[in-house]
Amino acid sequence: MSKQTQYVSKSINDKGYIEWTAEENQRWARLYERQINLLQGRACEQYMRGIELLNMPKDQIPQLPDIDKVLMEATGWQTAAVPALINFTEFFTLLANKRFPVATFIRSEEEFDYLQEPDVFHEIFGHCPLLTNPAFAHFTHVYGQLGLAANKEDRAFLARLYWFTVEFGLVQTEQGLRIYGGGILSSPGETLYALESEKPQRKPLKALDVLRTPYRIDIMQPIYFILDSFDGLFELSQLDIMSLVEQAKSLGLFEPQFEPKLKQAS
């Protein structure tokens, strides 16, 4: 999380609001319209219900106090405005205190289709709707508590659990396979790829397997893990995750299903 970024988060005024430019609001509107249409019949019903509850504006970037009001009433969560990138300790501390970090910048026009670091669209559109759901909110809270207490080595294993659930999770429903991971929900390319491409593997979610599965942040995922129901997040949060981390460390990681990232010449 603590790598270089070209983005600078915007400051918040004494009322908790951000002065977004007309251009930034227009970019949000385009991102919102494109993605909300694509998610019909692809996002899980819990996410779509969260979209209705938040009732976020379609033509301008939502203000965090407005999001907070809904989240607090629904699950006791709030957002927390943060710099473009934060370290793991701050990340886990926020989650452990039921505060979801939101980087207060929006992607540039050059990175309209894809960017690696999470921007305000990814955080608010991708994640906040599901924070209105008790199962998702509880799992995220427990995850934050575990991460805050973990050492550096264990956090690397926990990061895989977050990646394959909160960011890139799929869930089986009566209507078929649906998306709940925010990294997919905020990405048009990955939305179609995760559900409809024949290239990736799709496996039932077993916590030990997830903890042992490597990933890369800059490619379409070669593997997705599937919850058998959305309430499976509650069941996952009740497991002895740290005991499973110890097992994963003993067994070692699976062979990566992707090519290693090429190092840039210095």
Q: Which residue has the tokens 């990294």?
A: 183
Residue 162 region by backbone torsions, left for phi larger than 0, else alpha for psi between -120 and 50, else beta = alpha
132 touches 53 (CB < 8 A): yes
200 touches 224 (CB < 8 A): yes
**Which residues are tagged catalytic?**
122, 127, 167, 186
Q: 135 in helix, strand or coil?
A: helix
Kindly give the confidence (pLDDT) of every residue in the chain, 266 residues in length, as a single tens digit, with 9 standing for 90 and above: 445 678 989 999 998 999 999 999 999 999 999 999 999 999 999 999 999 999 999 999 999 999 999 999 999 999 999 987 899 999 999 999 999 999 999 999 999 888 888 999 999 999 999 999 999 999 999 999 999 999 999 999 999 999 999 999 999 999 999 999 999 999 999 999 999 999 999 999 999 999 999 999 999 999 999 999 999 999 999 999 999 999 999 999 999 999 887 665 44
Residue 31 region by backbone torsions, left for phi larger than 0, else alpha for psi between -120 and 50, else beta = alpha
Enumerate residues 6+ apart whose C-beta is below 8 A from 142. Answer: 237
Cα separation, 67 vs 260, whole angstroms: 39
207 touches 239 (CB < 8 A): yes
